[in-house]
């Protein structure tokens, strides 16, 4: 069985999966930073023997760096499918 709607209860009729998104508007954006991982070669190699063949693989190390990002703020309006109650929430997304 597949449920459609937001995984929350309607605050008025208290039924689960009853909220559906009606409207989403962007209210603003701010500059921020986020952490990003990347792989870097260490210069060392790993030697493996598989089925009488020698395989040489480089060894990578995972590192973290801070990169600039933009945080988008949204105002979301949800409506209950059963009682038509409207619920307004705030959310954000970092890209």
Is there a domain that residue 14 lies in?
A: no
Is there a domain that residue 56 lies in?
A: yes
6-58 pLDDT tens trace: 678 888 988 888 888 899 999 999 999 999 999 998 888 889 888 888 989 99
User: How many structural domains does the chain have?
Assistant: 1
The pTM is what? 0.65
Q: What is the pLDDT of residue 51?
A: 85
Q: Which residues of 11-30 are buried (b: 16+ CB within 10 A; e: fewer)?
A: eeeeeeebbeeeeeeeeeee
Is there a domain that residue 61 lies in?
A: yes
Strand boundaries in the chain, DSSP class E: 19-50, 53-80, 86-94
**Which domain covers residue 45, as residue numbers?**
19-94
């Amino acid at each position: 069985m597949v449920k459609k709607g937001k995984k929350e209860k309607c605050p008025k009729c208290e039924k689960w999966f009853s909220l559906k998104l009606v409207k989403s508007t962007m209210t603003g954006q701010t500059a921020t930073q986020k952490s990003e991982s990347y792989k870097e070669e260490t210069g060392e190699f790993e030697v493996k023997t598989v089925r009488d063949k020698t395989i040489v693989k480089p060894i990578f190390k995972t590192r973290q760096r801070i990169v600039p990002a933009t945080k988008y703020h949204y105002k979301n309006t949800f409506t209950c499918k059963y009682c038509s109650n409207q619920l307004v929430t705030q959310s954000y997304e970092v890209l």
